[in-house]
Structure 1
Amino acid sequence: MKKAAITFVTAAAIGLILAGAFIFAPVETLAGANFTVKAPEPQPEPEPAVVSNGGFEIEVLVNGQSLEEYAARGRHYVEALEGAEYELRIRNPLGVRVAVALSVDGMNTIDARRTSGWEASKWVIGPYQTITISGWQMSSSRSRRFYFTTEQDSYGAKLGKTANLGVISAVFFRERQPIAVVTPPRRTTRPYEDDGMERNESKRKADAPSSQGRDSAGAKSAEAYPRPDDESAATGIGRNVRNDVNWVNLDLQPRSIAEVTVRYEYRNALVRLGIIPRHYPRQDALRRRERATGFEDRGFSPEP
């Protein structure tokens, strides 16, 4: 499996995105074997946890095996296994490079920040390639493993960010391709047509909500974090592993092309949510009565 690449795009560097975002990636990410992942078929029975959107896929792996996925309420759920390390396998179905903003528990897997998908640091995936992300990136050569744990032991709780535990989200952006510019024939327009276009454009920009307003609103809502508990699933920050990355340059289209979200919970929570059916032990009364006896094996009264 080829290592992945990451983009560092921050709010301060947002102007760089339009001209070409800076990507942090190993050279081997940009070439090598292609990997394929089978997408799930919509059935009521559990399927491998390959959540897809337009061909973009996420698998949640434990010991190299996909966790079972349950589709319900328009969302996708997987059963978390307490204490188990896990990885995220992400597939690019396109013949061009894409950058994916990947968050776990509402925090970017590269810098643990919470931003919009556009402003987030991103991983790069080569054409038709698959990458595996196994932990929080701590430096250009080291990451710390994801593992399922309680909210109180989670990485989010350690950072005071507990408002979005239990969710894995990936937002994909396509690399901008060169476009041949053809000069159209000159057309004479009446002045009032141009003025109308300018007025409509000005009105559209004025009506559009600013990113600053959205960010400030999100910051206010995130100030009151709920208290973490010991029963719900979250992701911890585990052992150190080697994960080398470096910078590359990538020019991204500003509009995302896909978003994939996975919710994870322990089995008891999935049962309470109605995602997994509750199993009641049932015993045939007549068979039980047929097995009834008056005495056990021969013997004497036991000492107290």
Structure 2
Amino acid sequence: MNTLLSLLTLAALSCTPAAHAGALVDISVIDRDTGTGLTTHAREGKLYVAGTPGHRYSVRIANRVGARVLAVLSVDGVNAISGETANPEQTGYVLDAYQSTEVNGWRKNMSEVAQFNFTALDNSYAARTGRPNNVGVIGVAVFREKPLFWREGKIADAPLADRYAPAAKSSAAGAPAPASAPAESAEAQAGAARDEPAQAAGNATRADALAYSKQHRESKDESLGTGHGAREVSQVTYTNFDRASAQPNEVVSIWYDSYNNLVARGVILVPRPIAREPQPFPQQFVPDPAS
């Protein structure tokens, strides 16, 4: 059955932090305006990243196994290739063994995507197409490929390179996959427990610490979504992929919002000044009052 295969192959994940290390694939979110991978924060079994409004981003998917996999990418509950309300049975991206790819946007045709960018929820592609309920999460449903059966005089006599549809050696990713029975999506299992708060050294008083905490609780932004940005070149072609099962072998997910919102929700624990015991003689002379 027809699937898409991206013509872009990326090196293995180098210094980019993996958003989720699954058994089959790793996913991470890359801020394309800074060129850095977004740091992940764990809370209550989920992983989060903080996006910057207006910045473009990509979803990097890395195949961890020595066989091809199909990755069905959902952004805000929308299939990133077809634009349908996301379901694991839909089209996705095919990655060769140990290959990785960056998906930069909503696929418009075989040679272009509309860039992913962080924007206000009301301006997100999902909200603008009447589907705002799942804005703020990126998910990948992963399928293994059905194994080939060895038959004398056919597969067994064919060179290994001829047993699959031809694909450029420098490529990894993309794909409409065969229709199968709908499968329930399972939230990604986050490995780490919530981060421990860092403690900043200093001579702040107890009042300073309380004021600092209140300031961060009250600075909340409008929720983020993923916009339908400018078009850019992204070449893909078709390949064949038969799923080994109707249900995904793995589902990995990562949630996102603005930094201030994640702080306000307690996902990101910011450093706070240490509240010290009041001291009767903090200094020797009387300072001028603050103007």
TM range (shorter): 0.5 to 0.7
Aligned to 2:19: 50
Q: Does residue 35 of the first structure (1) align with residue 4 of the second (2)? A: no
Higher helix share: 1
Q: Shift of residue 36 of structure 1?
A: 2.3
Aligned CA distance change for structure 1 residues 250 and 261 (closer, same or farther; 3 Å): same
Aligned-partner Cα distance in 2 for 1:126–1:60? 20
Q: Shift of residue 211 of structure 1?
A: 5.8
Considering Cα pairs closer than 8 Å and 6+ residues apart, tell me whether 1 or 2 has the greater RCO: 2
Instruction: Quote the RMSD (CA, aligned, Å).
Output: 3.2
Aligned CA distance change for structure 1 residues 38 and 76 (closer, same or farther; 3 Å): farther
Correspondent of 2:80 among 91, 104, 109: 109
Q: Does residue 268 of the first structure (1) align with residue 238 of the second (2)? A: no
Q: Shift of residue 277 of structure 1?
A: 1.8
Instruction: Name the TM-score, length of structure 2 as normaliser.
Output: 0.67
Aligned to 1:42: none
After TM superposition, which residue ranges in structure 1, 4 or more long, deviate above 2 angstroms?
34-39, 47-50, 278-296
Aligned length: 224
Aligned CA distance change for structure 1 residues 292 and 179 (closer, same or farther; 3 Å): farther
* 8 Å Cα contact 2:24/2:142 also seen in 1: no
Aligned to 2:139: 169
Q: Shift of residue 292 of structure 1?
A: 6.0
Aligned CA distance change for structure 1 residues 268 and 175 (closer, same or farther; 3 Å): same
Aligned to 1:82: 53
Aligned-partner Cα distance in 1 for 2:95–2:25? 11
Aligned CA distance change for structure 1 residues 289 and 97 (closer, same or farther; 3 Å): same
- Higher CA-based Rg: 1
Aligned to 2:211: none
Aligned-partner Cα distance in 2 for 1:89–1:291? 59
Aligned to 1:160: 130
* 8 Å Cα contact 1:38/1:50 also seen in 2: no
Residue aligned with 2:231, SS: strand
CA displacement 1:220-242 (0-9 Å, x = unmatched) = xxxxxxxxxx7001111111100
CA displacement 1:113-144 (0-9 Å, x = unmatched) = 114202x1111111110011010101111111
Gaps of 5+ in 2: 152-179, 185-220
Q: Shift of residue 37 of structure 1?
A: 2.5
Q: Shift of residue 249 of structure 1?
A: 1.7
Aligned CA distance change for structure 1 residues 76 and 38 (closer, same or farther; 3 Å): farther
